Chains A and B, each alone.
Chain A
């Protein structure tokens, strides 16, 4: 096979494009600029860490089911772990969001990083809502009957029915986690490609 033929292959082109934009030393850097030494960045990492716990405990809940998480001691414990890791997830994410907002973190061609973060925040709310209505208890019944009016009022009720327990469960355990994990991956890769935003007083063009 000639060199020009190899260069035309989609695998060659994809590899060159990927490693051109994101070489390994940029994907997993040894050092970061001094302004990254801040507690604000800890909350972005804490958000991802709590998401790992959310998914892990969610997998355990999926294995044993509602009768287990409502009645047994261990089930209560894992259910509580799932809830509290979600609380930490949102807590950390909001602090990360505030920090990034006041840093104007969309500067220097980072608009897509900001947008993926905002979409992640909105998708997390949908994931939490579908989780609350999938508990299979009186709480989930109350939340679904209250929230359906808002969804119906927005016109979304035609394809997103909060009273449809099966649909809510599938959104919660399949669709939304897939979207969230995919978006988190894109968000982190974008942070790696563009680098962490420098402080406002620094030259906005100076990146890493």
Chain B
């Protein structure tokens, strides 16, 4: 039942979508993962780390 519900949210039962540009050829799934990694990396650099200010004040 739960797998049916999750499957209904995103239909994965089809061939991959591909983005093509000159020699570049990448599946939508791989492109999404790379975009997510870049977004997470930028977030990791910019988002404040919990307790950092308190630790600095203690030092």
Whether B55 and A34, one on each chain, are in contact in the complex, defined by CB atoms closer than 8 angstroms, is yes
Question: Which residues in A have some Cβ–Cβ distance to B below 8 Å?
Answer: 34, 37-40, 42-43, 76, 87, 91, 94-95, 98-99
Question: Which residues in B have some Cβ–Cβ distance to A below 8 Å?
Answer: 3, 33, 36-37, 40-41, 43-45, 47, 49, 51-52, 55-56, 59
Which secondary structure dominates chain A's binding surface? helix
> How far in angstroms is the closest Cβ of chain A from B15?
13
Q: Which residues of A contact B45 (CB under 8 A)?
A: 39-40, 99
- Bound form: Cα–Cα A94–B35 in Å: 12
Whether A95 and B49, one on each chain, are in contact in the complex, defined by CB atoms closer than 8 angstroms, is no
Q: Given that A34-B56, A34-B59 are known contacts, is A40 also in contact with B51, CB under 8 Å in the complex? A: no
- Bound form: Cα–Cα A95–B36 in Å: 10
> How far in angstroms is the closest Cβ of chain A from B14?
16
Most interface-central of B36, B44, B59 (chain A CB within 10 A):
B44
- Bound form: Cα–Cα A98–B43 in Å: 13
> How far in angstroms is the closest Cβ of chain B from A30?
13
- Bound form: Cα–Cα A91–B44 in Å: 13
